[in-house]
Structure 1
Amino acid sequence: MILLFISQSAFAYKWQNVDGGVFYVCGNNGVQKLQMIDHSDVKSVEFQQNGNKLPSTAYSISAIYDGMTVDAVITLKDGSVVTESIEIKDEPKWTLRVDESKSQLCNGNLGTLKAVVRQGTRKIPAEFSWQKDGAEVSSEESFSTTVAGLYSLTATAFGCTKTVDASIIPSPTPSISGNEGLCLGESLTLMASDMDSYEWQGGETSNSATFTASGDYYVVGSKTIGKNVCRDTLHFTIKPKMSANIEFGGVTAFCPGTVETEISADHDLSESQIVSYEWSRGGVPFSNDKKILVTEEDRYRVVVKTVDGCKSSSEVVVAHVDSVADVVIPNLVSEICSGHQTTISAEGVDLTYFEWKGSGTSFGTGESQYALSKEGDYSVVGYTTNGCKSKEFVFHITEIQSPTIFLESVIPCEGDEETISCTVTQGSEFFWISPDSISGITSTTIKISNSGQYRAQVKDPVTGCVSEAYTDVEFLPYPEISLIGDLSFCKNEGSVLQVEVDNRSNTKYKYSWVDANGKVIDSDSLAVMKKSGDYQVLVSNSHNCETRKNFSVVANPAPKLKGDTLKHLCENSTVTLTVNGAEHYQWSKSGKKVGSDSNKYRASSSGTFMVVGTSANGCSDTAKVKVELAVKPKITDIVKPACGTAEGLIALQTDKKCMFKWPDGSADSTFSFSTEDTYTVVVTDSLSGCRTNHKVESVVREIPVGLITSAKLDACEGDSLTIDASFTAQDGDVKYSWNCSTDTLPTTVVKQSGRVVVSATDSFGCVGTAAADVVFHKLPQFEIQSADVICMDSTATLVAQSVDLLSYV
């Protein structure tokens, strides 16, 4: 759907489908939403009616109806407020149709469809979308096309849409009927329709035409439509149906001495393509076989029907033949020279077909003559057109030995003189017959110096048999050669030499590269030279015409570069690459030159650097130096704080071998301190030499301070004492340990005399101690003395005695 946007000059903001402050409510298939188009500088929109807020979305409202006025209260992003009033009305009455008066296609002209949009009689503006098969083809009021078919038009006016259909009428085209194929020898009548008049290929102007041959044809049809006469051409093909070409097989006559004969209806199709045979005589059918046996003179007709329904017919007249002429061979030559042939021709009155045999075996049929080249017994028989056979003519051919001749082949070189010899049968007559320069010469040996064909002949004076021989002689030129390539080269590179040949003789060549010792080092047109010395190249053609060329090569020594192969690059630094062994140098990286004419190069990036070193003789060597970005060592700090007056210790651990330098010049991985400070140690990677300034914070702590707080430090033997301790530390927390127990609390229980020591360790490992002496007193030892017997109603005295001074109860 295409919506119509109409300018609203009286409004500060654009509203979709609002025309002059009016929004039209369409039918059920139209637009029902009042919506702001551009709100880039708008913060919010509130839709109201008579000051009451209406339900809406951010920039649009759907609950609208005819007669309603909507106030859009627009709050801008700068805080200012604009109010615009829009009147809601029903869609005006308007119509949509398509003018199809020019929709007919004719003679290749375009068909045109035009949209007509009216409000009453007034034309109103609208937007259009012409579509075919769901795809838009035009957005204009009218459009033209050569494509026939159904089109859909959607028009939008007042923001509302309507849709109608229209058609482009195809150009009239003639059609034909009855084209079912044509049988051989028959005719086919075709009927044309759908047009007013017709003109067939061949000149027929009615609505039908008759054809007697298959092939490609056309018919031109004309039809008057309005003021136009539309013409169109229909091309069509008449296909041939399967028809049989009949030829009668067998003997179609009563030959001398016969009273019956068999005739067959032969054809050019397979039997599976044949439906039936029908033989008739005097119009009366008598057989449906392919072959018939005839015993009476008459005219016989056969009809052969194919699977396509085509019927072919042919007639043959069978009559008595009183006699058949003999076959003869006029001027028969019964002797032939070996290696030669003679043509034998047979003839006879009314004989049109011949059969030849040799030693009883047929070797030729049909032709009246054959060329024979071997001794043997032969015969020939002639046949008339209706198949009657003549008597056999027998003859013998005798082969006479021809003289022998052998002409030798030669392969000479240009500028040389060559001898040709010919070997012949003794006693025969010999002479040269070509070229003209030697014609008539009777010597079997001649000298030649020119290319050409040499032909000789020998004749047996008794039999007259002649034999010939020839040889084609070509004097090939000696190869003209030249060397291409450097005769002075670098030893480590070598030199590729090529021998170039002036190929005047258009032949293939053989190559041989030989060193000073006669050793063959290559057999191609190219050779790689690696050593200094004297050499020779030999080139010969197919006639062994050989050319030699001597040359010398010098292998210059090449420099040998030695130096760095791997360097490590420290971060934010450079590294110097060094090689030696040449006079001039060229450094490069990734194919790009980075330095020249120095054996040193200062690299500031990692990668592989190539250097080409060149000596005074121009020879070079290549070396590469790999620069790797050094990885900083991973350093782990282990700091033992200085507690009270005791020194602290910094220990460094690294993931690779390193050297250390502390502020006091010490080079160990550990460093002792007594004051709190930041210490910088220089850590050097032992492999790459890269240095890292590593900072370590030292820690100085006061040792925990405390005492044993228990007031009672003695007890009797067998009892126990609870000992309490109390310490304070910088971070407030300590861990306790006692020398007399495994307790980790500030309290422990003691059961024997001795010195009790308690240690308090803070979170940094600083330790404070306190001690106290604990005494466990022995229990008193005493004895009670008394009489062994106490009498009834009497008393006894008990006496307690001890070595210690005791009090008794």
Structure 2
Amino acid sequence: MAIQQAGNCFAGPETDNIQNPRDAADLWHFSGPENHKKHAQAWFESIVNSNFLSSSQPQAAANMLQVTFACRAKNQFNLSIAGRSGQYYWISSDGNNKTDGTIVGQSGKTYYARVKDGIGNSAFAPPFIVPNDIGTPSVVANSTTFCVGSQVTLTANGGGNNFVWSNGQTGKSITVKQSGAYSVRINDGNGCESPTSAAVQITQTEPGPGPALTSSTKVICPGSAATLSAPAGKNYVWSTGETGTSISVKTAGSYTAKEKDPTTGCESLNSSALVLTMGTLPTAPTITTSDKIKDICPGTEVTLAASNGINYRWNTSQDNTATLTVKQGGSYTAQSIDNDGCVSLASNAIVVSYSPKPDKPNIAASGAVAFCDGKNVTLTASQGNSYVWSNQSDSRAITVSESGEFTVYTVNANGCRSDASDKVVVTVHPLPAKPTVVAQGPTAICSGAAVTLASSVTAASYQWSNGASGATIQTTQAGTYSVTVKDAFGCGSASSDPVTVTVNPRPEKPRITVVGSTTFCEDKSVTLQAVSSEAAVVWNTGETGQSLIISKAGSFSVQAKNTFNCLSATSDAVTTSVRPLPAAPTITASGALEFCEGGTVTLTSNNNSLKHTWIGTSDAGNRVTVQQSGNYTAQVTDNIGCTSPVSNVLTVKVNPLPTEPTITKVGTYKLQAGGTGKNFYWKRGTDSLTTDEAVIKATATGTYSVRSELVYTLSSGRTLSCYSAKNSTLNFVLDPLSQDISIYPNPSTNGRVTLETLKGLKNVTVRLFTPTGHPILEKKIGSLDDTQTIEIQDNSGLLILVIDADGFHTSRRIMVNSL
């Protein structure tokens, strides 16, 4: 039978332990023996007469099932029920129901679990909500570096409260005092852990070296202080507690400093210690002098000497000298300075006094101090006791007739001299040099010409003997001329020596005769001849011969010159004109300019209208064919007979052919080609052989022919091959019984035989036996490609020669006469 579910809850034998919440879609069934029926009847009766409790006592509710879970993956957990077996029922809030013993639960979902045993009893678990994923935490550091003795605080950010750090510490925040990489993970208390956070690197800043300290002194003198300094630009903490780049100390002791980083507050190691000591005052020195120190003349030096010390400091600020030289009056003292720099009390004082200096004198001049040579001036000093002039005179007045600077000083009764007077500069102007009349051309001039006369001296003014007053004069008149000059100071020179000017007559006008035509080709000329009674002429070209050869267009005239070098009037002019030459032709080659003997090349001029003249051939056309070496050029002539310049040069080079080669048999199988060739091309019959050597090996009977070749390197870098005009031939018969090897001479008269192979042999062994089989020679030859000579000593007569090689064997009888 079936009972619909009710809102109450009972537990006891043979019941289903019906509990809330229940699935409204499910019917709970009794099953088992008769007891189910009894209880069903009891339930019915309880409804009718309320006698249920007396007939069937309800039992205490069974223990609730417990759902256990374990992390599986991101947002997933394994769900199971501990301590129960039977039929499992899982009901999910998203309708994804399961009947497995262990299921995969999704974060945020609610699961209902029931287990039914084998007799139909069901046990329920309370609803289980799968926790959410706790995520990956992060780490925040209040600093990633710290000083020695300091620490850094690390704080974890993320869901949950259970934080486990990589160094084993727990909690949301930790402090660390060691360098390292720190990370954290979250444990949610249910056995699930988050992924490990990204690591934060924490670094302890190691202290740097201590600063290099300096001290103004290592010894502190009484009443003074020492300045201790560290390098500029940084922050420091001194062992005295003071800060700054430098400090001042007045007591002995050991001083250190540390550099402090203003950003991190980290300090360096201590510097090396500066150890200062206290000094003592040295004894005051004594100063003396052997010089006069009272009423001395100004400028006189007084030397003071200090003693009883090591180094000294004078009240004049002069240091480190035991003597002091003074030139001024005053009181002078000194202090002693010991090796530690400590300064004593002041010494005794020495007072130096100077008498007054006489007044500076004045100089009066009797007249101008600048005058011409031959005059003078008197200089007089103002009143004094005695006088000393710069020219060593000692009188009050001096007479000066030479240029110079003059001063005077006076000396008083105490022997003190005054300052020198202001200088008086006396200038004696020299008289201008006697001039010379310089003729700017010949002084013998031709009629109608003029000559310029000039003074050799440049001056302020001039006076000529003809009354002229310029620096130069021009005259056409015969006569005698002289000049005097004056300078800017009015000083006059002596008169120059006279110069005589002579005027000569001119010759008659000449005329010109022409030899030839005044119109000619550019490369021709015409001759002009001067006709004059004078022996000398001058052409307008500058030439002076009686005849003048003209090769250019122009106007030409001539003047006659007499024995006085006077030129006549210019002759009538002769005008010439020049006909231009045809342009030089350009010649080109229709082929290579370098070829073998027997070849030709055609040379062509680009001018096909004018008559040609070729150099290197007698042809007159604009095209020639040449077959000989040489330099070839061409010229053209126009209809008026003018010939062009020479064309460009084409150089033809004909290379000789090699001589006809010869063929000589130089062994049993070898043929040798002779002649001037460098390469040789062989044939056997009509078949070409693959060699260009002079010597070949004839491997078959036939008619052998050879052609020789010479190879020339051209200027372009290419090569030219020239072949002999004819081939040579030789009939060769190969001995069919030679067995590819020949032994000669046989008989041998000198104990030597030559082995010649037709084909190359490898690993050759040559043995020689007597007719009775006694071995007398054995020779190993690695390779026998051509010929090999064998020397036989101390054996004559008939011998047996045996030759073995790879794939080859033969034996021969030979006759030998040893030497």
Q: TM-score range by the shorter chain?
A: under 0.3
Greater strand content: 1
Q: TM-score normalised to the size of structure 2?
A: 0.24
Report the structure number with the largest CA radius of gyration: 2
